[in-house]
Structure 1
Amino acid sequence: MAVDKIFENEDYIIVNKPYDMYINSDNENEKNTVTCHIASHDSHLSSSTNPLYFVQRLDYSTSGILCIAKNKTAAARAGKLFEKRLTRKYYLAIVRGHILGFELADIHYAVGVDPSPQSAHKMSPVISSASLSGEPRAAHTRMLVLETGSYCGDPVTVVLLKPITGRRHQLRVHCSAVGHTILGDYTYTNKVDSTPHRMFLHATRLILPFLQDPLDIQSPEPFFTDLEFSRKWKPGKKFYKYKTQEDFTAVCDVIDKNYTVGIKYEEFCFKK
């Protein structure tokens, strides 16, 4: 798959990462990486003749916007925004099941390493005192229901996700924790959800509020333009329009609001 450059200036390259692609690899024989497509295999190393600096990460299975700095100064500038949680990130996801209990939710489950020996690289939510393990860190995700429908006859829901914190696998863990795993998420369905051709999680919009020349980057909606998905999809109830850039910006404004007047709201958190 090609790696499309959405934006580039003297400091940053912002790409639309395909699903099922690594960002980089120390294995020189691994060519399925973003770095191999846009630069050289070793460009993520400081020893490279033209090093690149990844100021954020996306999972192998996740597609969408990825910001890459061209120099240390630019990396530090963007890194501070991420560290101070000043960036705004928005993801489209399709999850299993129809979400009927709420339209908007805040998910506050802490996320830690899954202690099970057979679950390497897997994370776990703290939803009860029994799940307090793996040195969990506080995590917060907002979820807005956009549309219900069916995929291969099974109920699914299109949601907008806004991570407030940036924990490993946070969105996947939080969706699973509220009973709606992401469609095609092989890992967080215990290797059950293997039929879909991809995991349906896409980083759709990234806002970097630099004091000078702030960046607001949006990628095209990736699911319904994919024939392998759209021919298996049947629409149900639509709550918000979201497929054009203008409509997606509008639903981002909805999920940004602190108040919940007129919206069916739910909060998920572990109470000791």
Structure 2
Amino acid sequence: MAVEKLYESDNFLVVNKPCDMYINSEDKNEKNTVTYHIAKPDSHLSSSMFPLHFVQRLDYATSGVLCIAKNKLFAARAGKLFEKRVTNKFYLAVVRGHVAFEVADIEFKVGVDPSTADSSHQMLALTSSEALAKCTQSRHAHTRALRLETGYYEDNPVTVLLLKPITGRRHQLRVHCRAVGHTILGDYTYSGKADSTPHRMFLHATRLVLPVHEEPLDIQTNEPFFTDPKFSTKWKSAKVYYKFRSKDDFKAVCEILNRSYVIGVQYKMFKM
């Protein structure tokens, strides 16, 4: 499976990571990695002759924009921007069910699920005081969501959401979606291994805005789901709330989530 290069300079390489692919691996024989396709298999190691520095991470099942620094200087500069939360990341997701809200802020803390601490290390959104007492390493997490379109996938109700993570916790978008009752379509792990029919998990990092002073980046992929016959042939639209399938339309809806509030929309806050 090819890894598309979206942008390259002396300081950065930005790629469109396919779904169901690792970023890197300690196994020298593992070929299903981003590093194998774009560089040397050991390029994620500091001992490499041509090391790459991953300034962000994407889950194995998540596709989309992945930024890599080519040197330590710009890795550090990009890393500081992520730490200060001045970057903007936008994801397209298809979730199970028809979402009632138009815009939502989801601010449940996220921590390690104690029941999986010795196995899969799944994360848990803390929606009750009982969960908070049991969970370990919990941290504040904040996701903004915008309803784009409702429809049906194989006659089952689903919703297309635009997601903007304000914080960057492990599996944050997946556990936040599950916490509000709308698991991401094809998320085998966070559906309790029940959602196994779709050919992939429908979460895609569509746009990354990284305001590095010397080299500001605003990288966007094409819309990934409706151009895929494996999805589009099983999809039936019910209602379009916002146009989003072209790059210009997608940038326009991103601006809605960049605002602190939106007048005249159905808003919901999820917080314990």
C-alpha displacement of 1:259: 1.9
CA distance in 1 between partners of 2:103 and 2:3 (Å): 33
C-alpha displacement of 1:119: 5.5
> What amino acid is aligned across from residue 106 of structure 1 in structure 2?
D
TM-score (norm 2): 0.98
CA distance in 2 between partners of 1:72 and 1:135 (Å): 29
In structure 2, runs of 5+ residues without a counterpart are: none
C-alpha displacement of 1:130: 0.7
CA distance in 2 between partners of 1:88 and 1:33 (Å): 25
| Consecutive aligned runs of 4 or more in structure 1 exceeding 2 Å deviation | none
What RMSD, in angstroms, separates the aligned Cα atoms of the two structures? 0.8
Matched residue of 1:135: which SS? strand
Is structure 2 residue 162 aligned with structure 1 residue 199? no
CA distance in 2 between partners of 1:154 and 1:148 (Å): 11
C-alpha displacement of 1:253: 0.6
CA distance in 2 between partners of 1:256 and 1:76 (Å): 25
CA distance in 2 between partners of 1:238 and 1:192 (Å): 28
C-alpha displacement of 1:249: 0.3
Matched residue of 1:195: which SS? coil
What does residue 44 of structure 1 align with?
44
Relative to structure 1, the CA distance from residue 119 to residue 131 in structure 2 (aligned partners, 3 Å threshold; closer, same or farther) is farther
> What amino acid is aligned across from residue 111 of structure 2 in structure 1?
G
C-alpha displacement of 1:213: 2.9
CA distance in 2 between partners of 1:85 and 1:182 (Å): 25
C-alpha displacement of 1:260: 2.4
TM-score (norm 1): 0.98
CA distance in 2 between partners of 1:119 and 1:241 (Å): 41
Is structure 2 residue 181 aligned with structure 1 residue 179? yes
Checking the alignment, whether the CA contact within 8 Å between 2:256 and 2:262 is kept in structure 1 is no
What does residue 112 of structure 1 align with?
111
Equivalent pairs counted in the alignment come to: 269
What does residue 88 of structure 1 align with?
88
Checking the alignment, whether the CA contact within 8 Å between 2:146 and 2:163 is kept in structure 1 is yes
In structure 1, runs of 5+ residues without a counterpart are: none
What does residue 155 of structure 1 align with?
157
Matches within 5 A, 1:115-154: 115-117=114-116, 120-132=120-132, 133-154=135-156
What does residue 219 of structure 1 align with?
221
> What amino acid is aligned across from residue 35 of structure 2 in structure 1?
T
What does residue 99 of structure 1 align with?
99
For residues 72-122 of structure 1, the C-alpha deviation after alignment (integer angstroms, 9 at most, x for no partner) is 00100100000110100000000000012x100000000000000476220
Which residue, out of 154, 165, 168, partners 1:166?
A: 168
Is structure 2 residue 256 aligned with structure 1 residue 257? no
